Structure 1
Amino acid sequence: MEVMTKYKIHPLLEKRWSPRAFSPEPIAEEDVNEIFTAASWAASAMNEQPWQYVYAMRGTPGFDALWDCLATGNKPWTKHAAVLFVAIKVDTFSDTGKPNKWAMHDVGMANAQLLLQATSKDIYGHLMAGFGSDQVKELLQLDDNLTPVCMGALGYLGEADELDEPYRSREKAPRTRKDLDEFVRKI
């Protein structure tokens, strides 16, 4: 899918996008480990690394349990993903127990690196806010210091024409972004 930008960006950034059409091809465990290793190298406040990930491969009870936590609108297309995962934020600093107000940012950094590593291997990711946070907390028996931030699907690209509507149209729609003057200003 072509990306049109006024300014040149790295080809890996151009290539990264959030598809809904996934092929049935599984992802090798080695590749999954490389993807999560990339997340581990994200920048974080005081090197706290306030993230955890829980994942499952398609065809396993864990995948089905995570899939059950998704919002209705995400279920039709995620069933074909090779991997489902949950990104979890550790809410407090490990050494002081005080709230880590930068943790959400740091999880976002880890997720970005995870997605770029996946993309470098022709594996694509789609992060989702549409899931039951309380359901995930119960399923994974997370304590009060752990907050599910998002869920994600990973897989190789499939065929958009195999998706039902409205997902097929969304998959084929042009990729757009705001112009710089809408969110960047110089003072």
Structure 2
Amino acid sequence: MTIAELSDRAADTTARLLPALAERWSPRAFDATASVDEEKLTAALEAARWSPSASNTQPWRFIVARRGSAAFRAIEENLMGFNKAWAGSASVLIVALAEMVDPDGNERRWAKYDLGQAVAHLSVQAHHDGLHVHQMGGFDVNGLRDAFDIEERLLPVSVTALGTLGDPDALPEALRERELAPRTRNSLDDLLVVNA
């Protein structure tokens, strides 16, 4: 499968979706030579900034690291499992942090939910602008805390790789197979607990 074929993997949906939603997917093959367009990166971060949150508290923070920087290396060193094999080819690695406690010490039990919305908005805007993202949960939380001196009230929840598509043949075989496999999802009926 060519890079052009990979970039056109629209989901088979039961209802018509916005193209940026239907076409969005999470690659592992990133172009290790491409740098991200700063305007597009800013737009993705701005989309996250303007996502909804409970009482407009905006309980999200981000560590944004471009390939080649010390911050990028620190994030890459704290990735786990298969993530170490591919994520270093992305143009940018972004650590998503949830503000679990506000500056006054009050719990923000919805912070992870709101952060998830912010990262979803980031991913849709990035895809709209021709970039791709892949979100990861496999990383060393304490390693990132130490590397960036992250306050205890902020919780590293995910790491997002962002960049342009690369050649899937550059991936290890097991990851290449997953990269090229057909996209699948549970049926909509399987997801609806009640639909009255």
Correspondence for 1:34: 43
CA displacement, residues 137-185 of structure 1 (integer Å, 9 cap, x when unaligned): 1111111111000011001011212211211000001111111111113
Correspondence for 2:13: 5
**Could you say what secondary structure the match of 2:82 adopts?**
helix
1:53 pairs with 2:62: yes
Letter in 1 for 2:77: D
Correspondence for 2:27: 19
In the superposition, the TM-score normalised over structure 1's length comes to: 0.95
- Segments of structure 2 that go 5 or more residues without pairing to the other structure are 1-8
1:36: Cα distance to partner? 0.6
**Could you say what secondary structure the match of 1:112 adopts?**
helix
Correspondence for 2:188: 180
Correspondence for 1:129: 137
1:113: Cα distance to partner? 0.3
RMSD: 1.2
In the superposition, the TM-score normalised over structure 2's length comes to: 0.91
Letter in 2 for 1:68: E
Q: Percent identity?
A: 38
Report the Cα distance in structure 2 between the residues aligned to 1:141 and 1:28, rounded to whole angstroms: 28
Report the Cα distance in structure 2 between the residues aligned to 1:2 and 1:28, rounded to whole angstroms: 24
Report the Cα distance in structure 2 between the residues aligned to 1:11 and 1:143, rounded to whole angstroms: 38
1:72: Cα distance to partner? 2.9
- Partner of residue 151 from structure 1, selected from 136, 148, 159: 159
> After the TM superposition, which segments of 4 or more aligned residues of structure 1 sit over 4 Å from their partners?
none
